[in-house]
Structure formats: structure tokens, C-alpha cells
Amino acid sequence: MYGLIFITPLVGWMMPSARNFPVSRFGLFTLPDLAQPGTATYDFFREAHELLASALFVVATLHAFAELKQHFIDKDNVLTHVARESRTRETSRLLICELHHAFEAIRDCRPVPARRNELRRWAVEHAAEGQPTDFRRYASRRTVEGKFEKFTADIKFDPKDLATGRFDVKVDMTSVNTRDSERDSTLKGADLFSVKQFPTAQYVAEKFTDKGKGQYTAAGKLTSRNVTKDVPIEFTFEQKDTGAWLKGAPSIKRLDFGVGQGDWKDTETVANEVKVKFALLFNNS
């Protein structure tokens, strides 16, 4: 539509040029000719101008109906949002947001509700209680808790469009922290995480199942120590106006990924099952 807004008056300017008729602006100055005079040239630009004007009218009408549909049928309150924001001092910045409105919410502008057919992409805003990768392992009949301080999470998820969702989480294994430096050094060693050779673990999921009441299952693959295995994760997804909580607590068998060599294979000393707990607050990216 914006291309039509630009080119339609430009072609209208060419019409009088083709008739050798000067175009004056408020009697202050005369615009230069953009086309060689000639009857055939004039007829061409006149027909083109009529076609472009008709196309602009149709596109503008469809755009208006689309906005009305989004407001009254899709209930995304787009008209209320535009009216409210137009009264602020950020009118020029909001105009930039509106031009990109059909594609994505601009990060440094106010949040724009996603369309029903738009896949939401989320960025981590906050990890609750030191998570997302808090873990518990059971050693000598006692629970040892720790966390990974560094991670990245590329989350594309829309409960209304599960088929196009994707989780891609990378954990920096060197950032393990159990509040015990000697224990952390042991975990980073070659018999356990072997962080010098395998500094990153990655979880990727592209298939999701809705279990109802905000609960979902992700069928994904975990790669650690160069071993990749299927690891389903059950999680909850609670969406709000400006963000969403993603929470889960899956169990992982460490020996499936070679985390435990030599004496560390003994599950009497350290249990095979490790509980991983995450709670992430996301915003629209």
C-alpha cells in the first residue's frame, strides 16, 4: 500500500508533463517535467494513473476491513491500541511500529498483540530462582542441588500453532555451580561433564502435544558429551499480555549420555536420574 501511495501521485505528475502543461505548487514554484510531451505518452500515464488509483482504493479498503476484523472479530483491540498511543508524545516512533505491524513487534516500541496466524518468538527476560537449569542429583542418599549460570534459549511457540513451534536451548556446561568449588571441579572433569571436550549441551524440540489446561509435551532431542537421545519434556505455558511463563521439571538419566565414567558409573554412590527444573519468563522478541 505504501508503494502505491508513493507511485500514484508520481504518475499523476507525469500526466501534465506529457501534455506539456506546467505543474505549479501554490504559485510559488514550478515542478520540472518528468516525461516527454506526446499524446501517446499522456494516454499511457493517464490509464496507468487510473489503474493505480483504483488499486490504491481497493488496497486501502481491504486494509481498513482487516483492521476492523482484528479489532471486532479477532479481539486484539488494535483500534484501541492505536487510539491510545496516538495521544502520547511518541507518535512518530509509533508510526514506525505500525509500518512493521504486520511483521513483528519492534523491541523498543510498546508491545503489539500478535495476530492469530503469527508465530510468536520469545526472548528470555527472567529466570526464576536462579533457573532455568537448576538440577538435583542424588548422591549417597542426599540431594545435591546446583544450576548452570549461562544459557541461551531460542523459543518459538504459539499454543494455537504447535506445528511450527521450536525450542533450541543451549547450556554452557562450564557454568555449573553447586556452591562447592571442589565439587564443581569434579563435575567439570573428564569422567562427568568433560567440559573441555564438550563445553555445551543442547536441547532441540520441534514437535509439541497439547495435553490441556496449559500443559504440553515437547518431543525433543538432547545432545550432551556428543551423545544425542530423545528426551520428552512436559511443561506448562502460561501466556499473559506482555510475556509468558514456561515451566517444567523433566528427569534425565545421566548414564545415557556418558555422564559418569569409571567409579562414577556406580549408581549406589550417585543416582542415575537427575531432575532438571526450569522456570522462564519470556517477552515478545
Pull the grid cell for residue 45: 500515464
- Mean pLDDT lowest among 2-6, 33-37, 65-69, 116-120: 116-120
Q: Which residues of 47-66 are buried (b: 16+ CB within 10 A; e: fewer)?
A: ebbeebeeebeeeeeeeeee
Residue 96 pLDDT: 34
* pLDDT band, residue 175 (cuts 50/70/90): very high
Whether the pLDDT of residue 136 is over 70: the answer is no
Element (H, E) at 35: none
Alpha helices in the chain (DSSP H): 2-18, 39-72, 78-86, 91-99, 181-188
Highest mean pLDDT among 11-15, 50-54, 125-129: 50-54
Pull the grid cell for residue 137: 542429583
| Rounded average pLDDT over 208-223 | 95
Distance separating alpha carbons of residues 171 and 225, to the nearest angstrom: 12
210 by DSSP, 3-state: which? strand
Q: pLDDT tens digits, residue range 78-107?
A: 555 555 544 444 433 433 333 333 333 333
Number of helical (H) and strand (E) elements in the chain, helices listed first = 5, 14
The CATH number fitting domain 121-284, selected from 2.30.42.10, 1.10.3720.10, 1.20.1050.10, 2.40.128.110? 2.40.128.110
Residue 117 pLDDT: 33
AA identity, residue 70:
Q
| Rounded average pLDDT over 58-81 | 70
Q: Is 99 exposed, middle or buried (0-12, 13-18, 19+ CB in 10 A)?
A: exposed
Distance separating alpha carbons of residues 284 and 246, to the nearest angstrom: 13
AA identity, residue 273:
E
| Rounded average pLDDT over 33-49 | 76
Task: Specify the long-range contacts of residues 129-136, CB closer than 8 Å, at least 24 apart.
Answer: 129/279, 131/277, 131/278, 131/279, 131/280, 132/169, 132/278, 132/279, 132/280, 133/171, 133/276, 133/278, 134/276, 134/277, 134/278, 135/274, 135/275, 135/276, 135/277, 136/274, 136/275, 136/277
C-alpha 229: how far from its chain's center? 26
Backbone angles phi, psi at 186, to 5 degrees: -65, -45
Residue 226 pLDDT: 95
Whether the pLDDT of residue 72 is over 60: the answer is yes
Domain with CATH 2.40.128.110 in the chain: 121-284
| Rounded average pLDDT over 143-169 | 89
Tell me if 231 sits within 8 A of 203, measured CB to CB: yes
